[in-house]
Amino acid sequence: MRLGVTRSSSPLDIKRAYKKLSLQLHPDKNPSPDAADMFDEVKKAYDVLMDLEFHSVYDKFGQDGIDSNKRFDESQFFMELGIFYVTWALLVFVLTLGKKSGDARQWCYTGMVVMLVAEITLMTSPTNPIPEWLLPQTTEHELVWLMHSLYPAFMNGCRSLGSYLYVDLEAQTKKLLFALQEQNKDILLVLREVQIGVQTIESNGVKTTNSGHASARGPGAPRVTATGKLKELQDRLQTGNANVAEAVKSLKGDQTQNSQLGFYMMILGFVAMSYIFN
């Protein structure tokens, strides 16, 4: 039961809110059959808010913390925090296996890092770091519970969006490179046929020289034949074909390295932000 006060309410404001609400819910004036229980809840809420120690416990751990007389223990807090986030990290890893979930995994881990930094900030700060105008009646415990409850939906949303936006650039690039490779093979076959035809003509006594090139080279330059130019073009195509095949092999490794580097840089950035804001 809430008294309708905010985090910045003074003890006098809490007393006024309790007095007003208790008069409304008192069994003598409230005809509801649950009037006694509602009045008792208001009294408990008032007792918790007026006690500084209980107030702090309620803000950090909620009503369960009051019932179990729980207190903030740093070692226990970080142990529970580690178990929770390691469990979710493993679950995210398993649920985002596959090429289509590569970006989704980074988004999920990024959201997890943001949530981790926010939770540590909320639970270790002596006062609530959230501005008073933002969710004025919400405690640290409720904010942490809200983040934990929304994270599964956030993870599934990242998976769905990642699958929808996924474009297999590696497959498309490989397809293009393979097409170029096949095109080079067809050109090489045509050049070989032309080369055989030219050699046949030359062997029959018909000289096919490139007089224009010969005159341009000047006197004493080696004669350029059609067969020689075809052989030069064939060598260039074979070199280009080898380069295309090498590009196909190195494509996957380069993309994986860049993706991992970007993810680790993102993690370091969020860690730096946590230190700055703390």
pLDDT, averaged across the chain: 77
Rounded distance between C-alpha atoms, residue 74 and residue 124, angstroms: 8
- The predicted structure's pLDDT at residue 169: 74
Instruction: Please give the span between the terminal C-alpha atoms of the chain, in angstroms, as a whole number.
Output: 33
Rounded distance between C-alpha atoms, residue 36 and residue 24, angstroms: 12
- The predicted structure's pLDDT at residue 184: 72
- The predicted structure's pLDDT at residue 17: 87
- The predicted structure's pLDDT at residue 217: 44
Whether the CB-CB separation of 62 and 146 falls below 8 Å is answered with: no
- The predicted structure's pLDDT at residue 213: 44
Residues in the chain: 278
Per-residue pLDDT of the chain (278 residues; tens, 9 = 90+): 467 788 778 888 888 888 888 888 887 777 878 878 888 888 888 888 888 888 888 888 888 888 888 888 888 889 999 999 999 999 999 888 887 888 899 999 999 999 999 999 998 888 777 777 777 888 889 999 999 999 999 999 998 888 888 877 777 777 777 777 777 777 777 777 777 777 777 777 654 444 444 444 444 445 546 666 666 666 766 676 666 666 656 655 445 554 555 555 556 655 555 555 44
Rounded distance between C-alpha atoms, residue 159 and residue 270, angstroms: 22
Whether the CB-CB separation of 105 and 168 falls below 8 Å is answered with: no
Whether the CB-CB separation of 234 and 191 falls below 8 Å is answered with: yes
- The predicted structure's pLDDT at residue 208: 45
- The predicted structure's pLDDT at residue 84: 93
